[in-house]
A and B are shown apart, each in its own frame.
Chain A
Amino acid sequence: MQHRILIIGNGDDAAMAARAVVAVGMEALVIGEGAFPIADDRVTYKDGWTLKHIEGQIGAFEAVFDTSDGEQTETVSSIIAATGADMVPCSLMNSAGDKAVSFKDLPALLNAKEYTLPMAVVFIQDADVDDGQWVSAIGINLARQVRKMWGCDVYYLCRFIRGSHFEVENAYRMARAEGVVFIKYSKDSLAVMPAEGKTTVSFNDYTQEISIQADMVVMSDVLKPQTQTSSLTQKLGIGINHEGFFQYDNAYYPFTATNRRGVYVIGACKGPAGLNDVSGDAAYTALDIKIQLDELRPIADVIAEINLFKCSLCLTCLRFCPHGALHVSDDMPSMVVYDMACQGCGICGAVCPAEAINLADNGKALMKESSGQKRLKVYCCKNSAKKALDAINMVAQLPQGVELAEMPCSGSIKPEELVNDIYAGFQRILILACYSDACRHVNGNADMRRQMKALQDTLADMGIARDSIVVMDVAGPSSDDVLEKINSAYNAIGLEVAL
Chain B
Amino acid sequence: MIVGQEKPVTELLDMIKPYKRVLVLGCGTCTTVSLAGGQKEAEFMSALIKLNAAKTGQDVTATTETVKRQCEWEFLDDIADLIEQADAVLSFACGVGIQAIAERYPDKVVLPGVNTKFMGMPIETGVFQVRCAGCGNCILDKRGGICPIARCSKSLLNGPCGGAEDGKCEVNPEIDCAWYLIYNRLKAIGRLDDMKQFFEPKDWSYGRDGGARKLRKEGIAL
**Interface residues of A, Cβ cutoff 8 Å to B:** 310, 312-314, 316, 319-320, 352-356, 414-416, 419-420, 422-423, 458, 461-464
Contact = CB atoms under 8 A, between A and B. Distances in A.
Interface in B1-49: 8-10, 13, 28-29, 32-33, 35, 38-41, 43-44, 46-48
7 contacts: A354-B28, A354-B40, A355-B39, A419-B48, A458-B48, A462-B13, A463-B55
Interface string B43-70: 1101110111011000000000010000
Interface residues of B, number: 25
A312 B142 CA distance: 34
B172 interface: no
B48 A462 contact: yes
* Nearest 5 Cβ contacts at the A-B interface: A353-B38, A419-B47, A355-B39, A314-B33, A416-B47
B197 interface: no
Contacts of B125: 316, 319-320
B8 A461 contact: yes
Interface of B: 8-10, 13, 28-29, 32-33, 35, 38-41, 43-44, 46-48, 50-52, 54-55, 66, 125
A296 B44 CA distance: 39
A414 B125 CA distance: 18
A462 B44 CA distance: 14
Q: Which DSSP category, helix, strand, loop or mixed, fits chain B's interface?
A: helix
Contacts of B47: 416, 419-420, 423
B108 to A, nearest CB: 25
A316 B52 CA distance: 29
A354 B51 contact: no
A415 B29 CA distance: 22
Contact of B35 (A316, A422, A463): A316
Contacts of A414: 40, 44
A422 B40 contact: no
Nearest to B50: A423
Contacts of B40: 352-355, 414, 416
B8 to A, nearest CB: 7
Given A354-B28, A458-B48, A461-B8, A314 B39 contact: no
B28 A310 contact: yes
A461 B10 contact: yes
A354 B35 CA distance: 9
